[in-house]
Structures are given as structure tokens and as C-alpha cells.
Structure 1
Amino acid sequence: MINNPILRSDFPDPDVIRVGDTYYMVSTTMHFMPGAAILRSFDLIHWEIYTYVYDTLDDTPAQKMEDGKSIYGQGMWAASLRHYNGAFYVCFAAYDTQKTYLYQARDIQGPWKKQEIEGFYHDCSLLFDDDGRVYIVYGNTEIYLTELNRELTAPKPGGLHRLIARDREGVKLGYEGAHIYKINHRYYLFLIHWLSDGSGRRVEACLRADSLEGEFIGKDILDDDMGYFNMGVAQGGIVDTPDGEWYAVLFQDHGAVGRVPVLVPMRWEDDFPALGIRGKVPAAIETKSTRPTHKYEPFVSSDDFQYFPDGDGKIHLKTAWQWNHAPNNALWSVDGTQGLLQICSGKLSENVTRAANTLTQRTIWPACAASVEVDGNLLNDGDYAGICAFQGRYGLIALTKEDGAYYIVMKGRPGEADYTIGRTCDQTPGEEYARIPWPSAMATLKVHADFADMRDEAAFYYLEHAEWKQLGITQPLYFGLDHFVGCRFGVFLYSTQKVGGRACFKRFIYHETGVQSRSNGNPHNFHEEAELYV
């Protein structure tokens, strides 16, 4: 028995499949690299990050944060994950390049072969039909179905192409988030929309047709917020178990922590899907595991940075880590013997969102914290090295240097949420709320994030004489469309005056400070401080 949401962290737009006794889920990773996270489970409620589809996508100047460009709030969105004739397929559109990508692999861990599909297909879903024909379904408000050629590189000349659904007027968000399936000789199209009337929240819908040339007819099948601030549970994939049970893995907006997956039981009534229990998402859910003894790797993790190169000389960080954009591999390194991560600045940056090579991990609802030790002996004047609550409205605590002297500062970005999709990242220096002189080039810094009941705030601390002391303000956080992802912890260095400064980081420690009890269905039963040091 586990409480819903099953994952209390930002894994939006899930699509899920089962291959044998194993479930796989792909999730949107936007601008973060490596990208297109694929998670693995044997029971649908516990998940681990198993692999990524790509290390970097197209290495454009924007993806590498060069020439003042970035892809915040863009990158890959809403991938479709399928398994057909022994091969895995991941298909998605990237909003910065305006391209649609298709990756194929015989093994879920790769290597993945990359190609493009001619055209741009918003929130796309692949359908491999029984006769070998392949289709892509996509769109917003108007949903289209297009047949692809045999090579899956473009629409098939003379192939089927038609509008299969159009949402009614007067909705805040029209049909999108398409997931199409063929089950028992019928076609089922799952969609979401955001109603203006009624509940006024995100709702899951399903339309059914007897053929791809026929009419898709259906209705809304889930309208529930689990009692959480009118945040609807919707958008995701469906999957069956080896025992013939059915589930949907959908997501729910949870404020600044991001969009979190929810597991919803599904049954069939008159060959039509019915979600939930009497139309409601259960607060707690229990499933069968196909491998009950499996030990899952945590999707967030402490790190001692004791990495060593593989046979090709590459360092492979834990799957919990992602860079904020495509990294400059010449400007970071790991000393496994000493347990050090070193980041070097290669450009001037106005603030932490403009910095390259910021290393991030997801935060966890309802509360969590992370700390890191910083060695600033190689900082230049005007450098900032530390740990942050990383999003468009960021907050940070850092060791900095001015006229050869060291200080600890707390900085943040004031203002309200930005709901501009793909807006170029903020180029202002942010607000400095506090500064103290520091007698050393070494400091241990911490961020504590509180998302309970949509508080959405972060507090910042430094360690002095074995005591944590708060510095600066408690920074408000938000979920905005400028980054379009949940808040993360980030380890960073950026320079404001001179490039070439270096910072070393060691002993990154992740704490869950409000962990839900998994022994019963009470969503407010937490235990205190659990350190994830792995």
C-alpha cells in the first residue's frame, strides 16, 4: 500500500508501457540534459530512473547556453513510448528546434538511434497497428491522425490524414496530451482539456472509434483533484498488468515542486474505460509486484562524488543528476579519489539561471533539503559558488569573493510567476538579501524547500560551529511557464567579472524532511528527517 501521488516529484507527461514483467515510463525533461528520462518499475508504484534516451539533443547554441541563448521552458515535451516487434520507440517534439524526433533501440538502455520525422507534432502519440501501418496522433484543440511512411521519417504519400477530434468552445485549454491505443479491435484516444465551467480544472477524456476512418465519440472520464487545491489529475498513459488489471499513470500539478505522477485504477465498462473508484482517485493504492525482492535505486540521492572514468574515459554521474542545459564537458571534472566535483566558469553570467554546468536534482513534496561543502580557494572576485533552489524565480546561498575577501551571500529573484512559454531567461543580477564576511574559502551551505499545502518557499542556511544558521529571506517559489518544470536543487558556479574561476564541491547530502508514511492511507502522516545518503 502506498499513498497517491506515487512519485512526489516532477515527472510530467508520463507515458507507460509493459514489456513482459517490467513497466517503463518516459517523462518530459525539457531543457535538462541528459534528456527523456525513462523510469522502470515492477509494481507501478515504486519507480527508479533507469536510463536516458539522449545525453544531448542537437547541441545548438541555445541548448549549450551560448550567445546569450537558452531553451528554458522548451526542449523535449510529452514523449510517446512504444514497444513494437522487439524494438523500443520514443517520439517527441522539441519546441526550441521545432522538430519532431524519433529514437529507436533494441534495448531500453540503448544505444538509441536518432532520426527526425518531417513536421512538428504537438503532444504526439505513436500507433503501430496490427497490419503494420504506423500513425502519429497530435495537436491542441484540434487533434489529427497522420499515417507515416515505412521508414517513419515523414507522412506517407497518399496515406491517411484526418482530423479526428475537435474540442468544444469555451475551454481554458483545448484537447491535447494525446495517447492512442488499439485494444480489442477498437481505437481509444485519451486526451486532456481544461474546463472553464464545472470544476474549472484539468480533466481526462477518452474517445473511441471502431476504425481509424470512423468517428471518435466519447466523454470525460476523470474529473478529480484529490482534495488538493482544485488541481486536476489528468494526462498520461494506460497499461495492463500480467494479471489483466488496468491502470492509468497520470499527473497532477503540485505548485512549485512540479507535476507529480498519480496511479489510477482503471476498469472496462461496456468496452469503455472507467477511471478511479466511483470516479475518484484513491488516496492509497496497492498493486502486485512482478519482482517483490527488487531494490529500487532512489531517484534523488546524496553523492560523495567518488566517480572514476570508464573504459572510454567518461564519467557517468548518478541518474539522479541532470545538467541545466547541455554541459560544457571541458569545464567540469570529478576527482574520485578526493571525492570532489570541480566546475570552472567559461563565460560571464548575470545570475544563476544564466550559468552553464549547473548540476541539478529534483525536489520532493512536501519538503526536502540539500547541503553541500564548497571549496572557493580558486574563485575570482565576482564569482558565486553554492547551492540554489533552481527555477525562474530562484533563490541561492553562495560563497563569493570581493577584493580578495570571502563572503556568504543569499540572493533571489523577486517578482511574480512568469507564464511566458520559452521566454529568454532572466538577465538581471537578482536581489542580494543578505551578506556576511566569511573567514575561510570553505563553507557548508544548505537549502530547505517547503511545498506542503502550496507554501512553495525555500530557506537558506550556512554551517557555523556545527550549527545551521539561516541567512537572508525565505524565498517564494512558483511554477511558471518560463522554465515549465518543478523547482530543483542546483550546485553551481558563475562569474560576473572574470572567467576562469573554479569551485570544488564535496559531500552533497539530500534530506527528505516530510516523508509520507507508506503504512496507511493518511496523506498527512509524516516522519521527520530521513537522510538519503547513498
Structure 2
Amino acid sequence: MKSIFLTSLLALATATYAQQQAVIPGDHADPSVTKIGDTYWASATSSNWAPEYPLLKSKDLIHWQSAGYIFPKLPDWADYYFWAPEISYEKGRVYAYYTAHKKGGNLCVAVASADKPEGPWKDHGPLMCESDGSIDAFPMRDENGKLHLIWKEDGNSIRQPTPIWIQEMNEERTALLGEKKELFRNDQPWEANLVEGVSMMRHGGYFYAFYAAAGCCGEGCTYVSGVARAKNLLGPWEKFSGNPILTSDETWKCPGHGTPIEKDGKYYFLYHAYSTKSTAYSGRQGLLREFEFTPDGWIAFKAPVATANQVPAVVKDDFSKASNLWNWSVFHWPEYQTKGGKLHLKAIPEQAGVYLARKTYTGNYTAQVQVEVPKTTELKSGLSLIGDDDNALGLSVQQGELLVWKREKGKDKVLQTLPLTNAKTVVLQAQVKNGKEVTFKYLINGKNTQVFDSVNGAFLPPWDRAVRVGVIAKGEGTGVFDNFLLRSEKE
């Protein structure tokens, strides 16, 4: 009987884990959250996708709406790797502490502020730029009310330890004061080559530091999460003997880098993880997990609670008006406009071309768009799955011809060409299975014709991002698009 009872409990726990859904689906790594009035505001890593740092808002931490971006244009001092925004609110002002790569330098932590989360945001520039990189900033007041900044020195990038530093910060958030002090570093076997992504809260006489460790990203990720505590912000800090407190399960892998938040007297952690089904192809997605404080003063996560699937089944854009849900390369800001119910995208001849792309949410989806057939072979307009500027896969049309192509590690290759005659418009379609098996099709007058079966897109996702899908234009001229659609299947 005991054996049957334990088996039943295990089955129940497994079923509960299997039901956990992302509350912020799609590529939203390193999520941060704060409460302003009766609304929760969140942001997440953009990396080399622009605009930088999406803003989302929610009343319940479950249902989120897009609300623009922190940086519609890049800060003057930075060029790429826009990571880990930490959004906070204090005394009527909103702050975003963020990481970016300094032009001609390395990674720095910086800060921007606004009167309201919708913006406009004013950038105050870098606060700390160490030679091997500074990332993952978090603000915290000590037991005496003094404001400090916590961040990670990116030692793992040069095969060195990763100390977590703290330094006093002025109230204007424009400069650090005094000398930095180390709080802790990666010194436990389970932490492997790094600790990072520190966020903090104070409760019951202790400061608690949530942090991530090991390998963050990609198919081979090993990320896990731990907690440390201290009675004084400057330490000494004690790591929990039961670490790690968040690990992979059968539904989500490599959990970490989040922010604690209180709601209605309960405590939650908004963090990211990969779906074990779509993994790197749909990216690190936002999850929510309740935790409690134990009698001995530590933290224990509760079993995940089933929530409604937040993945949009269908995403449409008829280009009747501008949308803020399109992304593009931080290195190639597009010239485009919507007019006459169509998207007009000016092509560039470099790399894969210029593109506007949307997040993907699962490993199985269909994307399609109607394209005006160019009147020249100097312009290729199409539908593409995009990892980055050097890794893309698509179906494009030029005068008289359809082309299935790929760009892998910066090298271009045409996989198949088919003649196309007497068509002014064509609907291009990509059917994707398991994130990487891509079948391109085209439709003329509603007739569906297969072009190329099961192209392998396993090379697409960059180490720190997911695959996006969208429209692309390469060469000379302007691509014209209409009726974009993305249909996602449930995982």
C-alpha cells in the first residue's frame, strides 16, 4: 500500500509539472518585474534584436500585454548585447538597470530612468565597466537605507571566477560611490564556472539573494538557481546548503535569472527557462513560481500551479497600421512604412538582407505572408526564419523565379530555384516542426504547391537567442508585403 501511495504522489507531481505554462511565452530571457500602482511591469533581454528591452504590463502576473520598449533607439554609448534589464520603481520614478556592450570597449552596466514606465526614458549611461565585462545590475538599499548597486564581473568570459560585487550609488543613480566590495563568487561544485543574475529582497531580518549558476544558454545549457542570505547587505553572505533550489524538470530546463515579487501577501519568482520540447528554437520563456519562507529562514519553492496557455494561437498583421511587435537586427535598422494596407521594406544588399521578424512561441508553427513579385532580379523579397545576420533560412521571390536559400555562418547558398511566371503576388509559407524541420510552400490563386521538403534549420538559433520569423528584402529596391500570419501549435 505504501508503494502504491508513493507512486501516486510521484504521478501527481509529474502531472503538475507537465501543466506549468509560460506566463510570458517566447524569447524573454532574464525577466524582471516591479509593481507600480495596481499594475505589474516587466522587461527582458533583447540581446541583438531591436528595439531594446520590451515592456509588458499585467494586473495579475499571469496575463501580460505588450507596452512598447525602453529604448526605441540605441543609447549613444552602446552598440550591441542588450541584456538583463532590471526594472524598479521608487519615489515616483522608474529605473532600468541594464547591460550593454560599450562602443570600443566591453560590457558595462548602466541605468535609465523615466517618470512613468511607458516612457520616454532618459539614459544616464554606464555606471561600471570592468575590463572583462560587467553585467546583471540590481539596486538594493542596505539596512541603513543607503542605496547600492550589485552586479557580476564577467570573469567566465576569460575563464576566471565570477565575483558578485556591491558598491554604494548616489540617489540620482548617475555614479557609484566609494569602493566596491565582493559579496560572494562561484565556489561550489554545482555552480560550475559562474554565478550571475542576482536579484534581492529583504524579509524577516535577512537579505535574500536569488542567483543563477552554470551554463545559461543553448541546447547544452546547465543553468540552475540558488539562494544566499545575510543579515547585513554587505555580508557576510551564507549560501543555502540545499542549493540549487530550482532545477530542470520534464517540462522546463535550465531555470534561472529572475526577480522576486510580492502579490497579495504571497511571494513569487518570475524567471526564465527553456521548454524541453522547443528548447533554443523558441528561446528562454518567462515562468512564474510561488515560494515561501521556511521556519529555519530559507526559501522553498512550491509545486508549479497550472495556468492557462498564454501562447497566441494566431498572430496576424494586415499592415493597416504600424505595430510595435516587430523586431530587427541591432546592426541593420530598417527603413520601412505601412501605406495602403501594405508593408514597404527598403532592401539592403549586405548579408541576408534587411528583415522585420516576430517571436516564435513553440517548435511547431506555420508562418506565411503575401509578397508582391519584384519586377527586377536585383530585388529578392521573401519569408525567412532568422537566427541573426549570419544565420537565416528562407523562401524569396524575384522577377521570374522562386528561391529557397540559406545563410549559414555567413555563407550564402541557394538550395533550389523554381520558375515563376505571370504572377503579380505570391503567398509564401513556412511550415516548421520541432523548431528546425522547415517545409517551404507557395500559393498562387489559392493553389498550394510544395517547393522544398524538410530543410534543416538546426543551425539557426544563436547561443543567447531564439529563432524569429518574418519578412526579408535583399538587393536594390523595396519589398512589398501584406497579410502576415503566424499560427502556433500547442506543445
Q: What's the TM-score, normalizing by structure 2?
A: 0.83
Map 1:179-218 onto structure 2 (within 5 A): 179-194=199-214, 201-218=222-239
Q: Give the aligned partner of residue 92 of structure 1.
A: 98
Output the CA distance in 2 between the equivalents of 1:479 and 1:114. Answer: 36
Whichever residue aligns with residue 256 of structure 2, its letter is A
- Tell me by how many angstroms 1:476 deviates: 2.9
Extract unaligned runs of 5+ from structure 2: 1-15, 155-161
Describe the shift of the 1:479–1:35 C-alpha distance in structure 2 as closer, same or farther (beyond 3 A): farther
Match of 2:195 among 153, 165, 175: 175
Judge conservation of contact 1:255–1:456 (CA < 8 Å) in 2.
Answer: no
Output the CA distance in 2 between the equivalents of 1:138 and 1:131. Answer: 20
Structure whose residues are more often strand by fraction: 2
Output the CA distance in 2 between the equivalents of 1:87 and 1:200. Answer: 37
- Provide Cα deviations, 1:104-134, integer angstroms capped at 9, x if missing partner: 1121101111111332331111224575522
Whichever residue aligns with residue 490 of structure 2, its letter is V
Match of 1:383 among 374, 379, 383: 379
- Tell me by how many angstroms 1:225 deviates: 1.8
SS in 2 for 1:231: strand
- Tell me by how many angstroms 1:31 deviates: 1.8
Q: Are residue 363 (structure 1) and residue 360 (structure 2) matched?
A: yes
SS in 2 for 1:284: coil
Q: Percent identity?
A: 21
Whichever residue aligns with residue 227 of structure 1, its letter is E
Match of 1:239 among 261, 264, 283: 261
Judge conservation of contact 1:479–1:485 (CA < 8 Å) in 2.
Answer: no
The 10-residue stretch of structure 1 (95-104 or 381-390) with the greater mean CA deviation from structure 2 = 95-104
- Provide Cα deviations, 1:156-210, integer angstroms capped at 9, x if missing partner: 1x35x210011126554310111122334431111111289xx993211111111
Output the CA distance in 1 between the equivalents of 2:452 and 2:231. Answer: 62
Describe the shift of the 1:438–1:106 C-alpha distance in structure 2 as closer, same or farther (beyond 3 A): same
Q: Are residue 101 (structure 1) and residue 76 (structure 2) matched?
A: no
SS in 1 for 2:438: strand
Judge conservation of contact 2:336–2:343 (CA < 8 Å) in 1.
Answer: yes
Output the CA distance in 1 between the equivalents of 2:185 and 2:221. Answer: 19
Match of 1:509 among 482, 485, 488: 485
Match of 1:152 among 147, 167, 173: 173
Match of 2:323 among 289, 308, 318: 318
Whichever residue aligns with residue 150 of structure 2, its letter is V
Judge conservation of contact 1:267–1:273 (CA < 8 Å) in 2.
Answer: yes
Q: Give the aligned partner of residue 58 of structure 1.
A: 75
- Provide Cα deviations, 1:296-323, integer angstroms capped at 9, x if missing partner: 996983111112xxxxxxxxx3232122
Match of 1:344 among 327, 346, 350: 346
- Tell me by how many angstroms 1:227 deviates: 0.7
Output the CA distance in 1 between the equivalents of 2:283 and 2:228. Answer: 28
SS in 1 for 2:416: strand
- Tell me by how many angstroms 1:218 deviates: 2.1
Output the CA distance in 2 between the equivalents of 1:99 and 1:433. Answer: 41
Whichever residue aligns with residue 449 of structure 1, its letter is V
- Provide Cα deviations, 1:75-112, integer angstroms capped at 9, x if missing partner: 21011111111111001111253343311112110111
Output the CA distance in 2 between the equivalents of 1:9 and 1:262. Answer: 11
- Provide Cα deviations, 1:353-389, integer angstroms capped at 9, x if missing partner: xx23x11110011422221111134x54242211111
Q: Give the aligned partner of residue 250 of structure 2.
A: 227
CA RMSD of the aligned region, Å? 2.9
Match of 2:302 among 276, 279, 300: 276
- More RCO (CA 8 Å, sep 6+): 1
Judge conservation of contact 2:387–2:461 (CA < 8 Å) in 1.
Answer: no
Q: Give the aligned partner of residue 305 of structure 1.
A: 319
Q: What's the TM-score, normalizing by structure 1?
A: 0.76
Q: Give the aligned partner of residue 462 of structure 1.
A: 442
Whichever residue aligns with residue 236 of structure 2, its letter is E
Output the CA distance in 2 between the equivalents of 1:193 and 1:460. Answer: 39
Output the CA distance in 2 between the equivalents of 1:125 and 1:438. Answer: 55
How many residues are treated as equivalent by the alignment? 445
Match of 1:412 among 406, 411, 435: 406
